[in-house]
Amino acid sequence: MMFPSGSALTRPTTVPARLLSACALAAAGFTATIPLAMSPAFADDALHQVKYTVTSSTPYNVDIYYRDVDPPNWGEYSHNPYLYSPKIEADIGPNQPWVLNVALADPNNWAMVSATSGWSSDTPGVQCTLEVDGVVVSKNDGPRGALCSIRNW
């Protein structure tokens, strides 16, 4: 698209504006590359029952971030992600899982649980599971933490 030479519209020339534009394009490209076949379609107006489960191979106190409400839009979420991702500390272990049931309208975009042993060098073997409407849609584990989500973050 070309604008007349006397147009008031100009191209951004500052580095921060270019960086912001590049980040926005990269984020849009990143989310657009997620194959739809990999995630179940939860695109209706009904609330979906989401179940988060976090456990570990050995008893340990972990930090858990989770999403229990749908942010109104990506802009609101990215402006203050911790408003929409509460953090708790929980004692977990092989026979002591942390479990939370929530209802989300758009679990494809917003269902997420993450657990970490923090700065410790201990390796408690953290595992997480994410279920939507009774179906396991994500499982993950790691020596010091795990993230379960349908969407790639």
CA angle 110, 114, 120 (to 5 degrees): 160
Kindly state whether residue 15 falls inside one of the protein's structural domains: no
Kindly state whether residue 108 falls inside one of the protein's structural domains: yes
Q: Are 55 and 92 in contact (CB under 8 A)?
A: yes
Q: pLDDT at position 44, please?
A: 59
Q: pLDDT at position 13, please?
A: 39
Kindly state whether residue 116 falls inside one of the protein's structural domains: yes
Structure letter (DSSP) for residue 24: H
Count of structural domains within the chain: 1
pLDDT, tens digit, 9 for 90 and up, residues 13-59: 333 443 333 333 333 333 332 333 344 555 556 899 999 999 999 99
Instruction: Tell me the whole-structure pTM to 2 decimals.
Output: 0.70
Kindly state whether residue 132 falls inside one of the protein's structural domains: yes
Kindly state whether residue 78 falls inside one of the protein's structural domains: yes
Which range marks the domain in which residue 135 is found? Answer: 38-149
pLDDT, tens digit, 9 for 90 and up, residues 107-131: 999 999 999 999 988 999 999 999 9
Kindly state whether residue 118 falls inside one of the protein's structural domains: yes
Q: Which of 94, 83, 85, 95 is nearest to 64 (CA)?
A: 85
Kindly state whether residue 119 falls inside one of the protein's structural domains: yes
